Chain A
Amino acid sequence: MSVAASWYLTLAAVLFTIGAVGLLVRRNVLVMFMCIELMLNAANLTFVTFARELNDLGGQVAVFFVLVVAAAEVVVGLGIIVSIFRRRPGATADDANMLKG
């Protein structure tokens, strides 16, 4: 028994919205980071869904690319976050506004 593609797409849309809203409303840097991951995986889910629906491997390949990028991003992003916390424990995203014009 196969689940209709629309369910997957709906799930992906919900996940993406949660991620986007979370990114906008939360101040905790780690939570914002996880929200980004959430959005990336929502996009991945969409890719996979369409790959199956259209019988096209290209979608699955794209997922691999996204995963690689996400992994690289985690390395860099976590590095930055850790260094911020080291200097200012309990900092929020709004505390790092040194690039204000």
Chain B
Amino acid sequence: MIHAAFLIPTLPLAGFCLLALFGRRLGNPLAGYVATGAIAGSFVVTVLVFAALFTHAPASRIVVEPWFTWFSVDRLSVSVGLQIDPLSMTMAAFVTGVSALIHLYSIGYMAHDRQFTKFFLYLNLFVFSMLMLVLSDNFLVLFFGWEGVGVCSYFLIAFWFERPTAASAGKKAMIYNRIGDAGFLVALFLIYERTGSLQFTQVFARLGHLSGSNLAAIALLLFVGAVGKSAQLPLFPWLADAMEGPTPVSALIHAATMVTAGVYLMCRINPVLHLSPDAAHTIAWIGVATAFIGATAGCAQTDIKKVLAYSTISQLGYMFLAAGCGAYTAAIFLMLAPAFYKALLFLGAGSVIHAMDDEQDIKKMGALAALMPLTAFSFLIGWFSIAGVPPLSGFWAKGAVLENAWAVSPALWAAGALTAVITAYYMGREYLLVFTGEARWTARHDPASHSGGQPTDPRRVMTFPLVVLSVCSVFGGLIDIPWHPHLDFLARWLAPVVGANELVHHETSGAVVGFAVVEGALAVTGVALALVLWRGVVNRPALEPRFLLLAWCIDTAYDRFIARPSEAMAAFTASVLEVRVIDGAVNAVAGLARATGSRARRLQTGYVRSYALGLVAGTVVLIAYLLVRVKG
């Protein structure tokens, strides 16, 4: 059954090809169902392969399936192969699962869009790239997938490219990712130069020959790539702007799957991180700083999707904190749990936006809970999950991270715990502003619309994914419960890949319970804070400073210290360097030629006799010279 693994990325690719060739003929909504079917098929195959892998003994759960040789140059032979192991299969399962749900949701969300089929075309291509990324058995094919998801992200952010903001947001995402990709590429060169291979198993087997500085350089350069892709400090502003894309895209790419690619990469290179603890600690600190900045920025946003975007940045920071602390299982756990509740929150936000006629300002919403009960309830579940209210999935995931952070440094734990409170608070603010209080909107009174102008829950194709994701958010925590050695399923499942390098801290059971109580209390504090401060209140300027609305002015700083000087330099080049130096040089050469010509043309008199005189004079001089030579 494991041999069927090649079907996992092939099915989305087939869907892409089908839509590319016949998409227009299939039309709306058939094209959407075809695309969804391709992903669902891929999900089914993934589950089957997953089950087949489960029957293997834990020690033999890393299977490399060679596929074909991509190219072979000198000593470098790159083959496209699939590495089927617990880590890649876990990723593949949640990528295909969440993608299938979001594809289904998109059929409803994009129903009125003119470019319906193109949207699904891009989505299928995205899923294919993402699966190549997680299933690849070597760094180069991983990089291929990495670039593939990047370009799909660009297409989808700029999907409504008629809007200038969407077009420029797409460009911004592309440029920020490119900065990270430069680091990734250099890391690839370094890996190949030092180990002579790009295949994971071979590279990791040869790590022993590498010097400490090389290992740290590889880890940090790959982390630079991850910083770009996963929107970490200082390259995170693109993710907030990426919300210009359609909401299903925000849910799928910019919350659940693509942005976690960086975390996946960190978990994949766990043998490298294990050997260079300094690099790992750098990663942890950048992660926790991002988590804190993202969470505080989320407190002041007024756009329903921007709150979620900064919350994504914050959660990603948490994942890097976990990976940097050597807690790879916790990182993956925290990747799976948000895949459910972030996707849920985004799809909920999408339903609200859809119902409110594309209104995204939470200050202009309110009182939607009664009109959209299902959306409101699923959003509530999302809020409690992300807040870490026990016993929802977020509680377990965040707890796993924080315990490991404590073991590395209590300062990391404190920053993480503070972030957890803020997270619970800003999500509460959003929930309360959107769904409770007074209605700050006016109904459309559009008799043609099916709901008579009132916002309502969307149709079933959109609510079904909400329900499934809600259930997953509630029970997702069951996959890894640290309190009992028989309940940590995820840790045991991932052990063949990350177990050897995982920093295991066996806390006493009392300490574990203590942590759980503290974290539960933190979550409840945040929720209570939100209820006290934002119930029935719309504006609290003191709590929404401009500094936080602008996300710590990082964009402003880039604008002032990079963009403006670049523009000034470009202006200088255009007005001075170009005109004076470059044009000057060209004009000087032309002037020289012209001056020479205007002098030399006087020799051409046009009179035959003067030419003849020249001839005679020349001959006389020549003969005189010869005579002198002969005599001398």
Interface residues in chain A, defined as those with a beta carbon under 8 Å from any beta carbon in chain B: 20, 23-25, 32, 93-94, 96-101
- Cβ-closest chain A residue relative to B604: A101
3 interchain residue pairs of minimum CB distance = A101-B604, A97-B606, A100-B606
Q: A32-B608, A93-B609 are in contact. Are A101 and B616 (CB under 8 A)?
A: no
Residue of B nearest to A27 (CB): B609
What chain B residues lie within 8 Å of A100 (beta carbons)? 604-606
Measured in the bound complex, the distance between the Cα atoms of B615 and A24 in whole Å is 11
Q: Which of B584-626 contact A (CB under 8 A)?
A: 600-609, 612-613, 616
**Given the complex of chains A and B, what is the CA–CA distance between A20 and B606 in angstroms?**
19
A94 pairs with B609, CB closer than 8 A: yes
Q: Say yes or no: B601 contacts A96, CB within 8 Å.
A: no
Question: CB-CB < 8 A to B600: which residues of A?
Answer: 101
What is the distance, in angstroms, from A19's C-beta to the closest C-beta of chain B? Answer: 11
- Residues on B with C-beta less than 8 A from A93 are 607-609
CA distance A25 to B612 in the complex (A): 10
Please tell me if the beta carbons of B609 and A20 are within 8 angstroms of each other in the complex: no
Residues of A within 8 A of B606 (CB): 96-101
CB distance from B77 to the nearest CB of A (A): 68
Interface residues of B in 526-576 (CB under 8 A from A): none
- Contact partners of A25 in chain B: CB under 8 A: 609
Q: Are B605 and A96 in contact (CB under 8 A)?
A: no
Contact B604 A24 (CB under 8 A): no
**A25 CA to B610 CA in the complex, in Å?**
10
Q: Check A97–B616 contact: CB distance below 8 A.
A: no
Report B-chain residues with C-beta under 8 Å of the C-beta of A98: 606
Whole-angstrom CA separation of A94 from B329 in the bound complex: 102
Nearest residue, chain A, Cβ from B608? A93
- Interface of B, helix, strand, loop or mixed by DSSP: helix
A66 to B66, CA, bound (A): 85
Q: Which residue on B lies nearest to A35, using beta carbons?
A: B612
Given contacts A101-B601, A101-B602, contact A23 B607 (CB under 8 A): no
Instruction: Specify the chain A residue showing the minimal Cβ separation from B603.
Output: A101
Contacts of A24 in B (CB 8 A): 609, 612-613, 616
Count how many pairs of residues, one from A and one from B, have CB atoms less than 8 Å apart in the complex.
33
Check A96 against B604 for contact (C-beta < 8 Å).
Answer: no
Minimum CB–CB distance for A14 against chain B, Å: 16
Q: Which of B230-249 contact A (CB under 8 A)?
A: none
19 contacts between A and B (CB under 8 A): A20-B616, A24-B609, A24-B612, A24-B613, A24-B616, A25-B609, A93-B607, A93-B608, A93-B609, A94-B609, A96-B606, A96-B608, A98-B606, A100-B605, A100-B606, A101-B600, A101-B602, A101-B604, A101-B606
| A97 and B605 within 8 A (CB) | yes
- In the bound assembly, the distance between CA atoms of A25 and B605 in angstroms comes to 16
Q: Which residues of B contact A94 (CB under 8 A)?
A: 607-609
CB pair A99 B616 closer than 8 Å: no
CA distance A93 to B609 in the complex (A): 8
Residues from chain A with a CB closer than 8 A to the CB of B605 are 97, 100-101
**Apart from A24-B616, A25-B609, A100-B604, what are 20 other A-B pairs with CB-CB below 8 Å?**
A20-B616, A23-B609, A24-B609, A24-B612, A32-B608, A93-B607, A93-B609, A94-B607, A94-B608, A96-B606, A96-B608, A97-B605, A98-B606, A99-B604, A100-B605, A101-B600, A101-B601, A101-B602, A101-B603, A101-B606
CA distance A20 to B616 in the complex (A): 8
Tell me the minimal C-beta distance from B598 to chain A in angstroms: 9
* Nearest CB in chain A: distance from B624 CB, A: 16
Contacts of B613 in A (CB 8 A): 24
Cα–Cα, bound, A92→B214 (Å): 90
Task: Tell me the residues in window 362-417 of chain B with beta carbons closer than 8 Å to chain A beta carbons.
Answer: none
How far apart sit A36 and B600, CA to CA, in the bound complex (Å)?
28
Q: In the complex, what distance in Å separates the CA atom of A101 from the CA atom of B605?
A: 6
Provide the bound-state CA to CA distance between A98 and B604, in Å. 10
Residues on B with C-beta less than 8 A from A20 are 616
Shortest distance from the beta carbon of A29 to any chain B beta carbon, whole Å: 8
> What is the CA–CA distance of A57 and B187 in the complex, to the nearest angstrom?
84
Q: How far is the CA of A20 from the CA of B608 in the complex (A)?
A: 13
Q: Which of B607, B608, B609 has the most CB of A within 10 A?
A: B608
The minimal Cβ–Cβ distance linking B244 to chain A, given in whole angstroms, is: 66
Q: Which residues of B contact A96 (CB under 8 A)?
A: 606, 608
Distance of A99 Cα from B607 Cα, bound (Å) = 9
Measured CA separation A32–B613 after assembly (Å): 13
Give the complex CA separation of A87 and B605 in angstroms.
Answer: 22
Closest CB-CB distance, A12 to chain B, in whole Å? 15
Closest to B602 in A: A101
Residues of A within 8 A of B607 (CB): 93-94, 97
Give CA–CA (A99, B608) in the complex, Å. 10
B594 CB to nearest chain A CB (Å): 13
Task: Give the docked Cα–Cα distance between A100 and B605 (Å).
Answer: 5
Q: Which of A25, A32, A98, A101: most chain B Cβ within 10 A?
A: A101
* Contact residues, B489-513 vs A (CB, 8 A): none
Cα of A96 to Cα of B606 in the assembled complex, Å: 7
Residues of B within 8 A of A97 (CB): 605-607
What separation, in Å, do the CA atoms of A93 and B610 have in the docked complex?
Answer: 11
Q: What is the CA–CA distance of A101 and B604 in the complex, to the nearest angstrom?
A: 5
Q: Which residues of A contact B608 (CB under 8 A)?
A: 32, 93-94, 96
Cα A97 to Cα B613 with chains together (Å): 16
Among B601, B602, B603, B612, point to the contact of A23 (Cβ < 8 A).
B612
B477 to chain A, nearest CB (A): 94
Residues on B with C-beta less than 8 A from A101 are 600-606
Q: How far is the CB of A1 from chain B (nearest CB, A)?
A: 33
Cα separation A94 to B603 with both chains bound (whole Å): 15
Q: Chain A contacts of B602 at CB under 8 A?
A: 101
Q: In the complex, what residue of chain B is closest to A29 when comparing beta carbons?
A: B608
Closest partner residue, chain B, to A25 (CB atom): B609
Q: Which residues of chain A are near B609, meaning CB under 8 Å? A: 23-25, 93-94
B228 to chain A, nearest CB (A): 65
The docked-state distance in angstroms from the alpha carbon of A97 to that of B601 is 14
CA–CA, A32 and B608, complex, Å: 10
Q: For residue B616, which residues in chain A have a CB less than 8 angstroms away from its CB? A: 20, 24
A98 to chain B, nearest CB (A): 6
Nearest residue, chain B, Cβ from A36: B612
**Alpha-carbon separation in the docked complex, A24 to B607 (Å):** 11
Compute how far the CA of A97 lies from the CA of B604 in the bound complex, rounded to whole angstroms: 10
A94 vs B604: C-alpha distance in the bound complex, in angstroms? Answer: 13
Bound complex: CA A100 to CA B608 (Å): 10
Cα-based distance from A32 to B607 in the complex (angstroms): 13
List which B12-52 residues lie within 8 A (CB) of chain A. Answer: none
Question: In the complex, A47 Cα to B616 Cα: how many Å?
Answer: 20
**A contact residues around B603 at 8 Å (CB):** 101
